[in-house]
Amino acid sequence: MGLVAGSIAFWLAAWWVNVRISASRGSGTLAARVAVPAIFGITLLLLWEGLVRGLDVPGVILPPPSAIALRFAASTDILWADFMQTFVKGALSGYAIGAVAAFAVALLADRYDLLRRGLLPVGSFMAALPIVGTAPILVMWFGFDWQSKAAVVVAMVFFPILVNTVEGLRSAEPMQRDLMFTYAATPAQTLLKLRLPAALPFIFNGLKISTTLALIGAIVAEFFGSPTVGMGFRISTEVGRLALDMVWAEIVVAALAGSAFYGAVALIERWLTFWHPSQRRG
């Protein structure tokens, strides 16, 4: 009982600190904006640890964070192999193929007006569908290895990137196009120097949405059949063995990979679209 009371008391104390920080005059500073969520996160972990230990929750229902961290540290080689199989081979390759394909189709759709007006509604419709359900079919076609996972990822990321790119290519203003026209720019020059840069914020919006979708597609496709390695495979088999600390360790990997992937794409965006109002500083 002491542990439970202690962790709840700690929670209240930390919350009080957060309230004080956010009400203080320094609440707008970078330090405060990092410290407050960090304190909140650490408190959550400690509360979880204290409650699980204090209430004697069995490890097959909810392992404490310390057990997950230990398991993570003890099985980095397995986690790394799973990461390579699912993220690098499945998700990344599928993401690249899907993005290039969507981009090519978007350029085509931009060239032919009929195609654009037809593809845009169909594409937005498809983007709202549960495409991850194609996983059993694609696993049947492309086998159990990473190729089928990449195929699921291609199907999942294609439509969001397509729709956003087509929208983006139309975002240059008539005045700007007229200016290019007065420069006697060829369509290719207009595309490269005006419309593609103007489309970049939209394209990156699609690319950022797709980072999470790619990882979800690669993991869920492994639930339908996989070689004996991979994050989805590990999650489904370790759940079956009730080794939940391993499952949580795998989820930590997925969370880290997902955030890093998103962060990397966001960094590239900042680097390429430094001129856009949303990226400017000060």
Partner 1 sequence: MAEASAGSGMTSGGGLAGGWLAALWQAMLPVAVVVAWLVAFWYAACVPMNAKDALTQAERGGAVISPEGAAERRDMSSWALVMRNPGHLGGVWSLDRPRLPAPHQVAAELWSTSVGLALQGRMWSNRSLFTHAWVTLSATLLGFAIGTGLGVLLAVGIVHNRAMDMSVMPWAIASQTIPILAIAPMIIVVLNSVGVSGLLPKSLISAYLSFFPVVVSMVKGLRSPDRMQLDLLHTYSATGAEAFWKLRLPASMPFFFTSLKIGIAAALVGAIIGELPTGAVAGLGARLLAGSYYGQTVQIWSALFAAAILAALLVGLIGLIQRVVLGRMGMAR
Q: Which residues bind partner 1 (CB under 8 A)?
A: 15, 18-19, 21-23, 27, 32-33, 36-37, 39-41, 60-62, 114-119, 121-122, 125, 128-130, 132-134, 136-137, 139-141, 211-212, 215-216, 219-220, 223-225, 231-232, 235-236, 239-240, 242, 244, 247-248, 250-251, 254-255, 258-259, 261-263
Nearer to partner 1, 54 or 136 (CB): 136
- CA-closest candidate to residue 79, choices 260, 231, 242: 231
Torsion angle, CA of 248/222/125/165, rounded to 10 degrees?
80
CB of 231 to partner 1, least distance (A): 7
CB of 241 to partner 1, least distance (A): 10
CB of 171 to partner 1, least distance (A): 19
Which helix (H) or strand (E) segment holds residue 282: the answer is none
Count of all residues that appear for the chain in the document: 282
- How many angstroms separate the CA atoms of 18 and 167, rounded? 42
Nearer to partner 1, 157 or 235 (CB): 235
Q: Where are the alpha helices (DSSP H) in 30-185?
A: 30-54, 65-74, 76-83, 93-111, 113-127, 135-142, 146-169, 174-182
CB of 147 to partner 1, least distance (A): 15
Q: Which DSSP state fits 56?
A: T
CB of 247 to partner 1, least distance (A): 5
Nearer to partner 1, 114 or 175 (CB): 114
